[in-house]
Amino acid sequence: MTTFASFLREREGSLTEQMDRPDCDPDRLRRSYARFPLVNFLVAAWGRNYTRRIRPLLSGSTPLTLLDLGCGGGELVRRLVRRAARDGLLLEATGADPDPRAHAFATSRPAHDGVTYLRADSTELLTGGRQYDVVVSNHVLHHLSAAELAAMLSDSERLARRLVLHNDLRRSRLAYLLFLAGFWPLGPGSYIHTDGLASIRRSYTQAELRAIVPPGWQVVRNGAWHLLLVYRPPGGGSA
């Protein structure tokens, strides 16, 4: 019998989130994409990532290119481009996702200068000869099988010229309880609450990620609830 003391001790990678199901309700899925900006603003710590790791690479004369793998509804690339523009810096961002539903939602948003969306995964981008200064992802790693995670990290190393940042949830009982209590208002009509709880159960601890990432990758805490995988290609500069 599972007790509170043992709950979340092990990663539950076999769970299936409703948004990942091809037959999930399309209206609930669209409402989930629409609510991601608020969720990411509250918990995902991309303001810190931008300030500490991305902004030092930007300039006001030469655009930096950035790729968001598994971009979902495309909220992150829009936010990063807006933030750079407010700082008077140039950023050209591409959001890529192989899911046609995510791509359709992202491209249905108002057009934004400096933002492009592609329906593709990392392997397809590599096959197409693409490369970017910075490669990022948000809340993607826990969705992947061991083989898919290894492939994404390998592809990221080859896609990025200067920096890779993969941000994901850190599994903990406190994170689960706070999400359970605090995010239920975003649940009705969407998959935010149920899938968010499943995401925490599927996510990694810092020790677990350190045990499986290839040489050259760092696993660091990113705020209270997240872990950040960081990779700097040889000769790619510092951030």
| Tens-place pLDDT, residues 118-173 | 999 999 999 999 999 999 999 999 999 999 999 999 999 999 999 999 999 999 99
Q: Please list the residues that pair with 220 across neighbouring strands.
A: 228
Structure tokens at 8: 């979340």
| Tens-place pLDDT, residues 72-89 | 999 999 999 999 999 999
Give the H/E segment covering residue 85: helix 75-86
- pLDDT number for residue 102: 96
- pLDDT number for residue 7: 84
- pLDDT number for residue 143: 95
| Tens-place pLDDT, residues 30-69 | 999 999 999 988 888 899 999 999 999 999 999 999 999 9
Do 56 and 133 touch, CB atoms closer than 8 A?
A: no
What value does the CA radius of gyration of the chain take, rounded to a whole number of Å? Answer: 17
Exposed, middle or buried, 162 (CB in 10 Å: 0-12/13-18/19+)? buried
Which carries the bigger pLDDT value, residue 42 or residue 213?
A: 213
- pLDDT number for residue 2: 55
Q: What is the pTM of this model?
A: 0.94
- pLDDT number for residue 123: 96
Exposed, middle or buried, 87 (CB in 10 Å: 0-12/13-18/19+)? middle
| C-alpha–C-alpha distance, residues 229 and 211, integer Å | 12
Phi and psi for 106 in degrees, rounded to 5? -60, -45
- Give the three-class secondary structure for 130: coil
Do 123 and 156 touch, CB atoms closer than 8 A?
A: no
pLDDT tops 70 at residue 216: yes
- pLDDT number for residue 44: 84
Q: What is the mean pLDDT of residues 204-230?
A: 96
Q: Which CATH class name applies to 18-170+205-231? A: alpha beta
